[in-house]
Amino acid sequence: MIDPARSFGRVAREYELGRPSWPPQAIDRPARELELGADSPVLDLGAGTGKLTRLLVERFAQVVAVEPDGAMRRLIPAEAEVLAGSAEKIPLPDGSLAAFFCAESFHWFDWPRAIGEIVRVLEPGGGLVLMWNRPSGGLDSAEWPQEVRDALDRLGEPSPPERRYGSFAWRDALARSPFVELRSTVIPNGGALRRAELIARIASWSQVASLPDLDREAFLAEVAGHLTEPTYAATLEAHVYWTRLAG
């Protein structure tokens, strides 16, 4: 088993093909509340393949994307300033950003170190936006065959970072930080997935991506055998949280 935190680079192409993007409102609402203008410098932290970065560069003139994995980083759009780094070691000077965006990444961070770095790099009153795509009816609401659910269940418990998200422990970490109380919204983010996109999405999940090569290939072949329709419904919603540095 490969360390789940280091598994995404081996499935970077699948991640880019299968992972969902974000509805515009997921940026619009926190940007308005945090008083971010087009010239506000912002950062996509743990940017992955740049799913969110692509939307940020349409709205903001100065966008930095920080991602530790080289294979993922190579897929981030060149319109952003793309940097190697991590949440625990952000390669930017003090007070240089108006806001951080963390899309599907905050639950992977070492929170005491990461929050300290985020606070260091933010300007006074700077904002923090956290985003996750989740099944709109809960984990059992995915509209694919029961055999696929059974195969996923056999993989066992979610990775520790996934459990950290589900427990909302990250809220406790922020509650003990210099940030004010979180605000939040939920935005529908459904649609349809082509069969190949759904297989790629499953392949990009850390539980699958961290399997040894032969086991991963066998698992994905089994899943593909159960997916016989050309398209499948996506029952997602974007959970968006934002806050700013106190006074």
Take residue 212 and report the two structure tokens written for it.
Answer: 């040894």
Say whether pLDDT at 5 is over 50: yes
CA 121 to centroid of chain Cα atoms: 20
- CATH number of domain containing 112: 3.40.50.150
Distance, first Cα to last Cα, the chain: 45
Contact in structure between 86 and 66 (CB atoms under 8 Å): yes
Counted domains in the chain: 1
pLDDT of res. 141: 47
Strand partners, 103: 131
pLDDT of res. 156: 79
Confidence of residue 79 (pLDDT cuts 50, 70, 90): very high
Confidence of residue 235 (pLDDT cuts 50, 70, 90): confident
Over the stretch 17-32, which tens digit does the pLDDT of each residue have?
999 999 999 999 999 9
Q: Is 91 helix (H, G, I), strand (E, B) or coil?
A: coil
Q: Which DSSP letter does residue 106 get? A: G
Query: What average pLDDT does this structure show over 98-102?
Result: 98
Taking the C-alpha atoms of residue 219 and residue 227, their distance in angstroms, rounded to an integer, is: 13
Taking the C-alpha atoms of residue 178 and residue 76, their distance in angstroms, rounded to an integer, is: 31
Q: Give the number of other Cβ atoms within 10 Å of residue 142's Cβ.
A: 20
pLDDT of res. 161: 66
Over the stretch 46-64, which tens digit does the pLDDT of each residue have?
999 999 999 999 999 999 9
Over the stretch 115-172, which tens digit does the pLDDT of each residue have?
999 999 999 999 999 999 998 755 444 577 889 989 988 987 767 767 777 778 899 9
Taking the C-alpha atoms of residue 224 and residue 197, their distance in angstroms, rounded to an integer, is: 11
Over the stretch 168-213, which tens digit does the pLDDT of each residue have?
889 999 998 999 999 999 999 988 889 999 999 999 999 999 999 9
pLDDT of res. 142: 59
Confidence of residue 237 (pLDDT cuts 50, 70, 90): very high
pTM of the model: 0.94
Contacts of 35 (CB under 8 A, 6+ apart): none
Query: What average pLDDT does this structure show over 221-232?
Result: 95
Widest pairwise Cα distance in the chain: 56
Say whether pLDDT at 98 is over 90: yes
Take residue 67 and report the two structure tokens written for it.
Answer: 């991602």
Domain of residue 111 covers 4-244
Take residue 201 and report the two structure tokens written for it.
Answer: 């999405």
